[in-house]
């Protein structure tokens, strides 16, 4: 086993891991603000990629314009999802919420299939396909985009939650909903906000990964699951722990695919998911009561 | 200023408030006394919109607020210091105070005046000052209570609802809290509805009081009247010292 090859696996694992981290943080933000596991999260990832394609092909927009349009539309659908599916629930019991988010996910996927068919599509990379040498390994410019954008989003996220009144209010809702209401925070508005942020982040993840992995109406299922796994490893943190969770998952997958067989790639996420849920349900780094934001 | 008219509140099948009516005039301090489980917290939560009434009316400054959500009620000028303090433990003292002013930030009020009010809280409770960056959950119960009161005051409420602010506190801290309540009344004329286990201290501070028993108001009157009432003496003042 050569060092260069190992480095190669780790590097590509890092960039898929970054994607998982973004999706995972989306799960965590909604979970922390509302207690809901949004099983439709993966669909917003899919929408990011597919809508970029739509704006590129059907509207003939250049890539730099298609991307913000796609993010805007995905975010709007996240908002609509909260308004139409979550908010009207009379009895938001956990089981009802699971059913409604899974139902929503199936609906979005179904509509996308009707609209775009079952084919897989490619989005052009953001800046060329000339490999870049890193040590003995190579990466693509798109990998750098992925890592850079992920870092930027994580930093923005941190800033929002720790340095803006709205972000602090969202954390307050996560910690103590009733007290949040009693200081004048409109908890339902914060729920809506959490869906907006998560669907925006999910769609960005879907867009930046699409040039590497292709996209189709059903990519949200696997990506959503991987993101969920990252969040579980991170103990549903919407910060560092889930990022590390995503990176661990990405690297393990890439090593597993490289060293054992690429057939095992997706199984790894399932195995980790089950192990964590059985052995450390509070996440890899969590104390029993962990700081989740 | 505040009126409750024939309020009934239920928790599922539990009938917690039975035909409760009360009123507060501007600038008054009124206390609610009653045994554990009498419904005192429920009254405050019904006013705050946390456990809305199943029938009856809550009027604040002659406006119906019976069905409003908690945040709307805060916006109108009623802040509650909840039972058990309920500070945001994982946030710093300063962040807790800032969230108290959440609606003022949202309405784009001048940051300077919010900061000024925050500093004022630190002059009311000097103990909080050198803990301003500390996580609220790491402070003592008394300090958390001070923070909870400070957080509520940051909203600049017209009416302050206090739910057992002295619960579980040492005598010195208790005095500190009551000193501040006195100060609020004298310097700011804040209207206060006070729920308190220490009926004697509460009646001393308050102008009037209501006595609650199993969800019903059984007695009301001025503090002096209530302190002289034999039933009150026996049931609520008997065990108190000093
Ligand atoms: N969440 C709840 N669910 C069911 N019953 C409750 C709940 N909260 C309070 N109660 C009941 O309502 C009554 C009044 O409670 P509460 O207002 O907390 O009394 P107090 O504050 O005077 O001690 C009690 O009988 C209590 O058991
Ligand atoms: Mg109580």
pLDDT of residue B53: 95
pLDDT of residue A266: 85
Please indicate, yes or no, if residue B202 is contained in any of the structural domains: yes
Specify the CATH number for the domain of residue B111.
3.40.50.300
Judge: A184–B74 Cβ closer than 8 Å, yes or no.
yes
Please indicate, yes or no, if residue B8 is contained in any of the structural domains: no
B123: containing domain: 28-38+70-237
Chain B residues whose C-beta is within 8 A of a chain A C-beta are 48-50, 69-71, 74-75, 79-80, 82, 86-91, 95, 98-100, 102-103, 105-106, 151-152, 155
Ligand 1 atom closest to the Cα of residue B83 is: 21
Please indicate, yes or no, if residue A87 is contained in any of the structural domains: yes
Please indicate, yes or no, if residue A128 is contained in any of the structural domains: no
Total of domains in chain A:
1
Expressed in angstroms and rounded, the spacing between residue B42 Cα and the centre of ligand 1 is: 6
Taken as a whole, chain A contains a residue count of: 293
Mean pLDDT to the nearest integer, A71-98: 91
Cβ atoms of residues A194 and A170 within 8 Å: yes
Judge: A186–B71 Cβ closer than 8 Å, yes or no.
yes
Tell me how far apart the alpha carbons of residues B70 and B82 are, in angstroms, rounded to a whole number: 12
Please indicate, yes or no, if residue A127 is contained in any of the structural domains: no
pLDDT digits (tens, 9 = 90+) for A233-265: 999 988 889 999 999 999 999 999 888 888 888
Mean pLDDT to the nearest integer, A24-51: 94
Tell me the pLDDT band of A288, cut-offs 50, 70 and 90. Answer: low
Please indicate, yes or no, if residue A54 is contained in any of the structural domains: yes
Given A171, A179, A291, which is nearest B82 (Cβ)?
A179
CA angle A130, A135, A137 (to 5 degrees): 55
Q: Does A165 touch chain B (CB under 8 A)?
A: yes
pLDDT digits (tens, 9 = 90+) for A166-224: 999 999 998 999 999 999 999 989 999 999 999 999 999 999 999 999 899 999 999 99
CA distances (Å), origin A138, targets A4, A88, A151: 9, 50, 20
Please indicate, yes or no, if residue B194 is contained in any of the structural domains: yes
Tell me how far apart the alpha carbons of residues B135 and B133 are, in angstroms, rounded to a whole number: 7
Cβ atoms of residues A93 and A35 within 8 Å: no
Of A281, A22, A6, nearest to A150 (Cα)?
Answer: A22
Tell me how far apart the alpha carbons of residues A106 and A118 are, in angstroms, rounded to a whole number: 15
Please indicate, yes or no, if residue A17 is contained in any of the structural domains: yes
Residue B211 φ/ψ region, left for φ over 0, alpha for ψ in the -120 to 50 degree band, beta for the rest: beta
Tell me the pLDDT band of A93, cut-offs 50, 70 and 90. Answer: confident
Please indicate, yes or no, if residue A22 is contained in any of the structural domains: yes
- Note every long-range contact of A240-245, with CB atoms under 8 Å and residues 24 or more positions apart, other chains counting: A241/A283, A241/A284, A241/A285, A241/A286, A241/A290, A242/A21, A242/A24, A242/A25, A242/A28, A243/A18, A243/A21, A243/A24, A243/A25, A243/A154, A244/A284, A244/A285, A245/A20, A245/A21, A245/A24, A245/A283, A245/A284
Task: Please indicate whether residue B41, judged by its CB atom, sits closer than 6 Å to ligand 1.
Answer: yes
Chain A interface test: which of B87, B100, B106, B109 (most A C-beta within 10 Å):
B106
Mean pLDDT to the nearest integer, A72-88: 95
Specify the CATH number for the domain of residue A216.
1.10.3470
Judge: A165–B152 Cβ closer than 8 Å, yes or no.
no
Query: For every one of its 242 residues, what pLDDT tens digit does chain B have, with 9 covering 90 and above?
Result: 999 999 999 999 999 999 999 999 999 999 999 999 999 999 999 999 999 999 999 999 999 999 999 999 999 999 999 999 999 999 999 999 999 999 999 999 999 999 999 999 999 999 999 999 999 999 999 999 999 999 999 999 999 999 999 888 888 888 899 999 988 888 888 899 999 988 888 999 999 999 999 999 999 999 999 999 888 888 887 654 43
How many CB atoms lie under 10 A from the CB of residue B112?
A: 8
Mean pLDDT to the nearest integer, A8-18: 93
Judge: A181–B71 Cβ closer than 8 Å, yes or no.
yes
pLDDT of residue B242: 39
Of B24, B84, B39, B53, nearest to B211 (Cα)?
Answer: B39
Burial class (CB in 10 A: 0-12, 13-18, 19+), B193: buried
Taken as a whole, chain B contains a residue count of: 242
Least confident of A56-60, A109-113, B183-187: B183-187
Please indicate, yes or no, if residue B20 is contained in any of the structural domains: no
Tell me the pLDDT band of A135, cut-offs 50, 70 and 90. Answer: confident
DSSP state letters, A209-222: HHHHH-B-TTHHHH
Tell me the pLDDT band of A291, cut-offs 50, 70 and 90. Answer: very low
Least confident of A81-95, A139-153, B1-15: A81-95
Residue A280 φ/ψ region, left for φ over 0, alpha for ψ in the -120 to 50 degree band, beta for the rest: beta
Please indicate, yes or no, if residue B114 is contained in any of the structural domains: yes
Please indicate, yes or no, if residue A26 is contained in any of the structural domains: yes
Total of domains in chain B:
1
Tell me how far apart the alpha carbons of residues A218 and A108 are, in angstroms, rounded to a whole number: 10
A35: containing domain: 2-121+136-285
Please indicate, yes or no, if residue A130 is contained in any of the structural domains: no
In the predicted structure, residue A290 carries a pLDDT above the cut 50? no
In the predicted structure, residue A5 carries a pLDDT above the cut 70? yes
């Amino acid at each position: 086993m050569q060092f260069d090859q190992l480095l190669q696996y780790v590097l590509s694992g890092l960039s898929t891991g970054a994607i998982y981290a973004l999706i995972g943080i989306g799960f965590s933000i909604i979970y922390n603000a509302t207690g809901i596991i949004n099983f439709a999260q993966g669909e917003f990832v899919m929408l990011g990629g597919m809508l970029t394609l739509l704006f590129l092909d059907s509207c003939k927009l250049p890539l730099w314009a298609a991307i913000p349009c796609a993010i805007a539309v995905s975010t709007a659908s996240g908002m609509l999802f909260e308004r139409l599916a979550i908010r009207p629930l009379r009895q938001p019991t956990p089981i009802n919420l699971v059913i409604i988010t899974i139902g929503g996910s199936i609906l979005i996927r179904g509509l996308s299939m009707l609209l775009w068919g079952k084919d897989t599509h490619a989005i052009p990379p953001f800046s060329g396909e000339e490999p870049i040498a890193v040590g003995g390994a190579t990466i693509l410019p798109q990998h750098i985009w992925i890592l850079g954008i992920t870092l930027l989003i994580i930093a923005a996220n941190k800033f929002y939650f720790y340095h803006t009144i709205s972000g602090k209010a969202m954390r307050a809702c996560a910690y103590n909903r009733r007290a949040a209401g009693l200081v004048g925070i409109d908890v339902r508005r914060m729920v809506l906000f959490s869906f907006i942020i998560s669907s925006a982040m999910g769609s960005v993840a879907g867009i930046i990964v699409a040039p590497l992995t292709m996209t189709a109406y059903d990519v949200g299922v696997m990506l959503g699951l991987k993101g969920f796994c990252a969040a579980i490893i991170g103990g549903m943190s919407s910060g560092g722990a889930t990022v590390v969770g995503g990176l661990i998952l990405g690297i393990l997958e890439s090593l597993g695919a490289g060293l054992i067989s690429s057939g095992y790639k997706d199984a790894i996420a399932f195995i980790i998911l089950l192990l964590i849920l059985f052995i450390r349900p509070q996440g890899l780094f969590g104390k029993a009561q962990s700081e989740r934001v | 200023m505040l009126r409750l008219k024939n309020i009934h509140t239920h928790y599922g099948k539990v009938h917690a408030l039975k035909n409760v009516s009360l009123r507060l005039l501007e600038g008054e301090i009124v206390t609610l006394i009653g045994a554990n489980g009498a419904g005192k917290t429920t009254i405050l939560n019904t006013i705050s919109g946390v456990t809305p009434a199943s029938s009856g009316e809550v009027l604040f400054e002659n406006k119906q607020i019976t069905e409003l959500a908690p945040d709307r009620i805060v916006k109108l000028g009623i802040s509650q210091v909840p039972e058990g303090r309920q500070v945001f433990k994982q946030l710093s003292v300063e962040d807790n105070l800032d969230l108290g002013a959440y609606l003022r930030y949202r309405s784009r009020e001048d940051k300077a005046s919010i900061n000024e009010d925050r500093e004022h809280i630190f002059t009311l409770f000097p103990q909080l000052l050198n803990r301003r960056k500390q996580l609220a959950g790491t402070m003592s119960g008394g300090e958390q209570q001070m923070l909870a009161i400070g957080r509520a005051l940051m909203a600049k409420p017209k009416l302050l609802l206090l739910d057992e602010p002295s619960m579980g506190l040492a005598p010195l801290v208790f005095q500190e809290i009551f000193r501040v309540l006195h100060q609020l009344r004298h310097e700011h004329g804040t209207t206060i509805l006070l729920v308190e286990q220490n009926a004697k201290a509460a009646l001393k501070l308050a102008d009037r009081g209501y006595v609650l028993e199993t969800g019903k108001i059984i007695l009301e009157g001025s503090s002096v009247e209530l302190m002289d009432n034999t039933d009150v003496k026996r049931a609520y003042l008997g065990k108190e010292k000093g």
